[in-house]
Amino acid sequence: MRTISENRCFGGVQGVYSHDSKVTNCEMTFGLFLPAEAEFGPVPVLWYLSGLTCTHDNAMTKAGAQAFAAEHGIALVFPDTSPRGEGVADHEDYDLGQGAGFYVNATQDPWAAHFQMWDYIAEELPRVVTAAFAIDGERQSITGHSMGGHGALTLAMGLPGRFRSVSAFAPIANPLMSDWGRKQLGAYLGSDETAWAQHDASHLMRDIGFDGEVLIDQGTSDQFLELLRPEALAGALATRRQPGTFRMQQGYDHSYFFVQSFMPDHIDFHAEALWQ
């Protein structure tokens, strides 16, 4: 573990750290906000997964989450969205390769050597942060934006009992039926579409659901609505009668201004579950 930076933030510390990942076979960087309460013992944690083209830094500096997390004594983890560095496969398109890991374990060349983002988020990074910092591994929740919303939902449903709550901002909700999904899942996982279903939030919601509360916010003026397919997830929630809330927010787009606007609601939502 290497400390890149640490800054005082709302009574706590916003840090950036790197470590050598055995899972992704490269150096990985993440942001971690620890509230003041972490000086006295382990605190609950909310994972924030970012979207296409992002690094650990985007949400850490743009989402405005630290102020609200500090109010509730909750840690925030901001992982990177993919492996990076010399020797890590990339692509000329922004929505494939570095910055576009889609939170899956790639099985296809040239991606399989490094793009093991499911295992990194689900297993390795939690071990790293709970071993090195005052994080309570028994009290975890997860959220994310766009590709990160896809990751948050699929991880929450794919790891029953791990997370106490899940939320998402404008998630890629139905990648099996979207160019933001078919392209990437085909590249990373191959042509067998049966392997893709475990990474489609709408399919997972319909088939297994989540063993807790769900909160989804989606802007009505989102420029990527046809790629996100929120209607598929809303339908799956209704079909399963999943406890939770799905909100279409009038006039909001896909930007971090949208995320900032509803971050207080999401932090409050997770805090209620984490401090029960």
- The enclosing domain of 16 has a CATH number of 3.40.50.1820
Would residue 222 show up in a list of annotated catalytic residues for this protein? yes
CA distances (Å), origin 63, targets 58, 109, 124, 159, 233? 8, 34, 25, 26, 24
Give the per-residue pLDDT at 224: 98
Would residue 254 show up in a list of annotated catalytic residues for this protein? yes
Question: Consecutive 10-residue runs of the chain (276 residues): their mean pLDDT?
Answer: 97 98 98 98 98 98 98 98 97 98 98 98 98 97 98 98 98 97 98 95 97 97 98 98 97 98 98 95
For residues 234 and 99, give the distance between their C-alpha atoms in angstroms, rounded to a whole number: 27
For 205, the domain range is 2-274
Would residue 145 show up in a list of annotated catalytic residues for this protein? no
Q: Count the domains in the chain.
A: 1
**Which of 56, 217, 222, 270 is the catalytic position?**
222
DSSP state string for 154-210? HHHHHSTTT-SEEEEES----GGGSHHHHHHHHHHH-S-GGGTGGG-HHHHHHHT--
Give the per-residue pLDDT at 118: 98
Give the per-residue pLDDT at 276: 87
Give the per-residue pLDDT at 208: 96
Name every residue whose Cβ is closer than 8 Å to that of residue 209 and which is 6 or more positions away in sequence. Answer: 157, 240, 242
For residues 196 and 172, give the distance between their C-alpha atoms in angstroms, rounded to a whole number: 14
For residues 248 and 170, give the distance between their C-alpha atoms in angstroms, rounded to a whole number: 9
For residues 134 and 32, give the distance between their C-alpha atoms in angstroms, rounded to a whole number: 11
Q: Residue 145, Cα to own-chain centre: how many angstroms?
A: 7
Give the per-residue pLDDT at 43: 98
